[in-house]
Amino acid sequence: MISDPVSLMKTPQISAENESLRTFITSQIPKGAPLIRARDNDNTSLIRFADLNNDGKKEVIVFYETPDQAVQLHGSIFENKNGEWVQRITFDGEGKVLESLRFKDITNDGSIDIIAGFSRGDEELQSGLVVYTYQGKELEKALEVPYSHFVIDDLNDDGINDLTIVSLKRNELARMTTYQYENSFIELDKLELDKSVNSYYNVVAGKVSPDKRGIILDAGSGSSSGYWYSEMIVMVDNKLTPVLNDDQTYKDVQIYSEDVNADGIYEIGILETPKGWEHFSFDEIPWFYSYYQWDGKEGMTFVRQQYHDYKSRFFLNFFPPEWHNIVTIDTKSNKDEYLRFVMSDTNKTVAEIKFFSQQDWDKDHGGWDLLVRVSDKVIAYKSYDVNLELNKNKKVETDVAPIERKGNKDE
């Protein structure tokens, strides 16, 4: 009479509407072909809704894979006719991998366009960007360009979305092109970039100062160990204009540009040496990550600073801005064993970080709170200051590391 409760678990239903749609889609696409999502994280659902033909009703767009066919990527559009779903169009995708997928009105006609990035699954090869427009009958390709990165923003601030393509082929080509649609895509401007760049590991677009929109390219350069810097490009009179020079944004580790203080303006991160460590070797220094905003001219203003583990195993809360140049790390610290954060003016310890082996942790860890577990180590902390109290006021479940949350990268 009594059975195992776990065996009675069942995936929850989705709404009847969605269920019938899913069944219909499954019946229309080749059997066994899985629906796919784009590789990037921007659009994560498998069945997507967008009003492509501006008729007030949303169409359904799916992409699916048929690995054993000549054309491996397909898309399909479904329309709702008086409560009945009908398949409108099936089209072939380019390449093998759906890299990105955006639904934005880029042609400025009020209807949503599909902006899809494809690749052949090889990092070295250029990816291809296709802008599809759909007016109810035919799917038209409004644009086909090779790209490394693309962003959709309104750089020239004219209220119309524009599309900026970054193409990079190391030592051969590095170019940024901004398009805007007026009956067809026209180039607003084109900017040649540094060809020696290995890759752009992060590309963001948005506000870079209170009254200016721009693009930040976080670039990796150099051979072997390499170095990193950020390029900030804004549009002045429809001309792509770099601001800041590479030295200002130079860093020895990858730091992602992001909006750390949630004011809607992007910051660029650089490394700073904690006070007292000036004469240590690079590998010994427990670097601080400092984030700066463009001041609108040629300089940068300090925004926030935090300690970020050089292997990205953990990071601490942002220090309060007024601690800048005051908080430091005791020079007896070792960034793989023990770190002590002190205020250089009062010599007050504000936090400690300690690395435990799993055995030592299990034996005794009195007074230490768990920060994070990594493969062979348990990293724990103690804090003595309200600003680094991390999650102290909450009941910390042992596996949850009380770490500052970052903002959503793409906002």
Does the footprint of other proteins cover residue 3 (CB under 8 A)? yes
Does the footprint of other proteins cover residue 9 (CB under 8 A)? yes
Beta strands in 82-138 (DSSP E): 84-92, 97-104, 113-119, 127-134
Give long-range contacts, CB 8 A cutoff, 24+ apart: 34-37. Answer: 34/64, 34/65, 35/62, 35/63, 35/64, 36/63, 36/64, 36/65, 36/73, 36/98, 37/63, 37/98, 37/101
What residues numbered 44-63 form the site for other proteins, per CB under 8 A?
44-49, 62
Q: How far is the CB of 295 from other proteins (least distance, A)?
A: 28
Instruction: Please identify, using beta-carbon distances, which residue of 15 and 183 lies nearer to other proteins.
Output: 15
Tell which residue, 142, 146, 139, has the closest CA to residue 119. 146
Does the footprint of other proteins cover residue 70 (CB under 8 A)? no
Instruction: Please identify, using beta-carbon distances, which residue of 214 and 402 lies nearer to other proteins.
Output: 402
Instruction: Please identify, using beta-carbon distances, which residue of 93 and 117 lies nearer to other proteins.
Output: 117
CA distance 162 to 185: 10
Does the footprint of other proteins cover residue 363 (CB under 8 A)? no
Runs of H (alpha helix) within 170-278: 246-249
What residues numbered 372-391 form the site for other proteins, per CB under 8 A?
372-375, 391
Q: How many residues bind other proteins (CB under 8 A)?
A: 54
Does the footprint of other proteins cover residue 8 (CB under 8 A)? yes
Does the footprint of other proteins cover residue 13 (CB under 8 A)? yes
SS3 363: helix
Does the footprint of other proteins cover residue 354 (CB under 8 A)? no
What token pair was written down for 209?
């100062």
Does the footprint of other proteins cover residue 37 (CB under 8 A)? yes
Does the footprint of other proteins cover residue 406 (CB under 8 A)? yes
Does the footprint of other proteins cover residue 12 (CB under 8 A)? yes
CA distance 84 to 82: 6
Q: How far is the CB of 333 from other proteins (least distance, A)?
A: 18
Q: Which residue has the tokens 């796919």?
A: 36
Q: Select from 312, 325, 334, 357 the one that contacts other proteins (CB under 8 A).
A: 312
Q: Which residue has the tokens 């491996």?
A: 72
What residues numbered 192-211 form the site for other proteins, per CB under 8 A?
201
SS3 226: coil
CA distances from 267 to 195, 254, 306, 322 (A): 24, 14, 13, 18
List of residues contacting other proteins (CB under 8 A): 1-6, 8-16, 18, 22, 25, 35, 37, 39-41, 44-49, 62, 201, 308-309, 312-315, 372-375, 391, 394-397, 399-401, 403, 405-406, 408-409
